[in-house]
Structure 1
Amino acid sequence: MTKTVILLFHPHFASSRANRALLDAATTLPEVEIVDMQALYPDGRVDADAEVARLVAAERIVLQFPVQWYSTPSLLKAWQDAVLTRMFYLAYEAEGATLAGKPLLIVATAGNVEAAYAPDGANLFSLRDLLKPLEATAHRCALAWAEPFLLYDARRADTQALQAAGAYYVSRLGRLSAAGR
């Protein structure tokens, strides 16, 4: 059984320094499975059977992605529609109920600085507020919502900042593991 599954939803992962730094750090942890969902489903057609099995087998779930136009990448939405709709509306007893209590961590990278995500900033809303639909989804699926891991100014971060973010990510994943036991 995979302890922690990190589902990466990044349409341009090959050019992402920030998400790569985070995942490189995460690979140092035992019992972590990293799945590049864009590489797995380049056409956007999600294999619901495989994804349900992946979630059922995991003890902890991490959804990692860059924020795009104040939301998640389209593949994450397609994954939710295919997998969570099935698990919670079509096969709740056999599938959806198995997720109850599993921790969920959202890992989001944003290209702009944190100050831009404020009522008086360029984006008007905090990044946490923009992630409320995912928090509502976690609540509906009875997943244990963990405080999101947010990385701002991801495009301009230097190597040292990305290494520090990677170290903090490892720390957060460790705390998630401790909480999920």
Structure 2
Amino acid sequence: MTKTLILLFHPDLSRSNANAALAAAAAARLPDIEVVDMQSAYPGGIDMFRDGESEAARLLAAGRIVLQFPVQWYSTPPLLKAWQDAVLTRMFYINYETEGRVLEGTELMVAATAGNVPETYRAGGRNMFKIEALFAPLRATANRCGLEWSPPFVIYEADKLPPEALKAAAEGYADRLAAWIASTPTAEAKVA
């Protein structure tokens, strides 16, 4: 079985309820999961030249990738955008043959938490758009990089969930990841 890499982009995981619970459930229940707290790894930001090689190697060692984050002002946290600029630019524009081309075909899933109720994320709702529409830049990036887009996993009212609902959401995340892992090809199968 190949490794599933969860890159967790929470600005302060020590203050997180939902993202911390999701990551903990995935790591506890599933084999071959690596969860990386990106904010802890890069408290001063990420740089293409200083950090790009190690991040590219981390991606290339994974069979599938999860980008996990809280939705902030209809977008991703700033470190996720900086990571895209540093790592994906390196892989797909500077080192395409040795890195970008090798990453193509890798499965990608977005796992996000949102503070509002699902009804606000619709045409005519307070937030105007379905949450999937807010992920369009990530989906376009996946397309450009040749990554296989999987339907996102989203938890709503993440900062308001009572403990039992949060536990159920975290178990649902682990279940979804297990099903996704079981249904996606491994890196070895892609090479064969």
Short-chain TM bin: over 0.9
Return the alpha-carbon distance in structure 2 between the equivalents of residues 157 and 58 of structure 1: 32
TM-fit CA distance, 1:180: 2.9
Return the alpha-carbon distance in structure 2 between the equivalents of residues 139 and 16 of structure 1: 30
State the partner residue of 2:43.
42
SS of aligned partner of 2:67? strand
Return the alpha-carbon distance in structure 2 between the equivalents of residues 105 and 42 of structure 1: 24
Paired letter, 2:55: E
One of 94, 102, 115 as aligned partner of 2:98:
94
TM-fit CA distance, 1:2: 5.8
SS of aligned partner of 2:175? helix
Matched, 1:74 2:83: no
State the partner residue of 1:109.
113
> C-alpha deviations, 1:106-155, integer Å up to 9, x for none?
00100111111111211101110000110011111111100000110001
* The structure with more helix, counted as a fraction of residues: 2
Matched, 1:7 2:7: yes
> C-alpha deviations, 1:59-95, integer Å up to 9, x for none?
0000000000100000000000000001001111100
TM-score (norm 2): 0.91
SS of aligned partner of 2:161? coil
Indicate if the aligned counterparts of 1:4 and 1:32 stay in contact, CA closer than 8 A. yes
Return the alpha-carbon distance in structure 1 between the equivalents of residues 179 and 59 of structure 2: 20
Return the alpha-carbon distance in structure 1 between the equivalents of residues 180 and 98 of structure 2: 25
Indicate if the aligned counterparts of 1:7 and 1:37 stay in contact, CA closer than 8 A. yes
SS of aligned partner of 1:5? strand
Q: CA RMSD in A?
A: 1.2
One of 137, 142, 149 as aligned partner of 1:138:
142
Percent same amino acid among aligned pairs? Answer: 56
Which contiguous aligned blocks of 4+ residues in structure 1 show a shift greater than 3 angstroms?
none
SS of aligned partner of 2:96? coil
Indicate if the aligned counterparts of 1:65 and 1:108 stay in contact, CA closer than 8 A. yes
TM-fit CA distance, 1:45: 2.3
State the partner residue of 1:160.
164
TM-score (norm 1): 0.97
Return the alpha-carbon distance in structure 2 between the equivalents of residues 72 and 143 of structure 1: 18
SS of aligned partner of 2:35? strand
Return the alpha-carbon distance in structure 1 between the equivalents of residues 76 and 162 of structure 2: 24
Aligned length: 181
Matched, 1:59 2:60: no
